[in-house]
Amino acid sequence: MGRSFGLGLRSQLMLALIVAFGAAFVLLSLVTARLDESESAEEQRTRAEGLAQALSAGAGAEGEGLREEAMGRMLSEGLFRRVEIHTAGGLSESWGVLEGKPDAVVTTVDGLELRVWVPASYRGEAARRSLFLFYLGLTASTVLLLSYVLLTYFIVRPIDRLRLASERLAANRLHTRVPVQGAAEVARLAATFNEMAAQLRDDRASLQQRLEELEQTTAELTTAQEQVIRSARLAAVGRLSAGVAHEIGNPLAAIRGLLDLMQLGDLNRDEEKEFVTRIQRETERIHHTIADLLDFSRDDSGSEPRIESSADLAEVVSDTVKLIDRQSRFRDIELALALEDGLSRVRGDHERLRQLLLNLLFNAADALGGKGRIEVHARDAAGVVELIVEDDGPGIDSEIIDQVFDPFVTTKAAGQGTGLGLAVCYTIVERLGGTIEASNRTQGGASFEVRLLAAR
């Protein structure tokens, strides 16, 4: 059931106007009545002058009885306050009480002068006009005052309360309420305002609750992320430790065994020479492993000039190709270059970029087993230069493709690789502000795409 709000605004305005005009009608009625009385007095005065003229016509001795009769009748009816008849010698006759100046003076043909006093309340047109203006002003003032009071109480004051409440609501005081009163429209507006304020309170409470839930969820996600990162670091440390133990422990075990055999003294000169050669080979293996570890873990925090420097990628590719051209592992491998003309210079120094490309080429050659095709592409893109190394070998095992850049991740046989080459590539590219991605080609083989920042 809908709430009732009383009379509507228009109804109240009509009622106020009816009351105002009713009061005006009453006051104007009083004015009209007084004016009617004034007009009656004027008529009486006119008749009195007429009678005075008639009396003056018979003011002689022969009309004395008639004059006495007329004077007595008019005085008894209150038409005159006083009447005087003057002759050449002065006052001849008088009726009534003397007060002020006469209101009418009539001279007869025989020289008599008739003076007449009428009641003071019936004098003059100016008095009637003043009275009319007074009542008219009073009526207008009453109408205005009544209209002001009614409009203030029923319209202005409720709307002003709504304005103040709106300002409080805008100042984030959501518990603001306004009285539901006044005209129907104003009361309905006040009720709607209260409902809106209540809805805002509910929405804010709901939003606050959701915000707290989001903060809690964010905190939980942050904690979980930290745990994942910590676990990933621990796993990486574990893999690194296992790799180091494997890549260094195996050669050390071999060296120790060879030294034990040499200490027995049962070896001839050729066997001792062979054992020394094998010890040197295992020592070189340990040396290369340590060198790769140093490349992987090198701190470039003090090498900002290297990052800010720039290099010609086409020149880097050319120098790298010359370096591997006479190596035995590339003897049966076809190397194809597709370099875009006018390549932009890239951020980074020449030596680090050559090491990056050299590691990618060595990785591709190892995957091909010494025979196949390697393609090197370089082209400009939006703000970067893309370097792509592809081969037509067996591709990357799907089980390790997501960890291919982790240290010591390799598919080579034991002793044939440290699994640090691609990890070093990833570190170089990351420190230069670029990206590197590994994928398998649809036609077979692996693809490594490096995106390096173009030098400004």
CA angle 222, 400, 293 (to 5 degrees): 80
Check: CB of residue 377 under 8 Å from CB of residue 388. yes
312 vs 315: CA distance, rounded Å: 5
**Poorest-pLDDT segment among 236-250, 297-311, 312-326, 422-436:** 297-311
Which pLDDT band, with edges at 50, 70 and 90, does 298 fall under?
A: low
320 vs 302: CA distance, rounded Å: 26
Residue 396: its pLDDT value, please? 87
User: What is the 8-class DSSP label of residue 370?
Assistant: T
Region 199-297: CATH code = 1.10.287.130
Is 415 or 220 the better-scoring residue by pLDDT?
220
Residue 305: its pLDDT value, please? 40
CA angle 441, 446, 450 (to 5 degrees): 100
390 vs 336: CA distance, rounded Å: 10
Check: CB of residue 66 under 8 Å from CB of residue 167. no
User: How would you label 299-318 residue by residue, b for 16+ Cβ within 10 Å and e otherwise?
Assistant: eeeeeeebbeebbbbbebbe
Residue 345: its pLDDT value, please? 92
Is 354 or 55 the better-scoring residue by pLDDT?
354
Rounded to 5 degrees, φ, ψ at 420 are -110, -10
Sequence ranges of the domains in the chain = 9-130, 199-297, 304-453
CATH-assigned architecture of domain 304-453: 2-Layer Sandwich (3.30)
Residue 118 CA: distances (Å) to CA of 37, 80, 249: 14, 5, 149
Label residue 63 exposed, middle or buried (CB < 10 Å: 0-12, 13-18, 19+): middle
Per-residue pLDDT, averaged over 140-158, amounts to 75
Residue type, 366: D
> 199-297 with 304-453: one CATH topology?
no
Token digits for 321?
């190709």
CA 158 vs. chain centroid, Å, equals 30
Q: Which of 112, 406, 404 is nearest to 237 (CA)?
A: 406
The mean predicted confidence, pLDDT, of the chain is 75
Strand 332-339 versus strand 371-380 pairing type: parallel
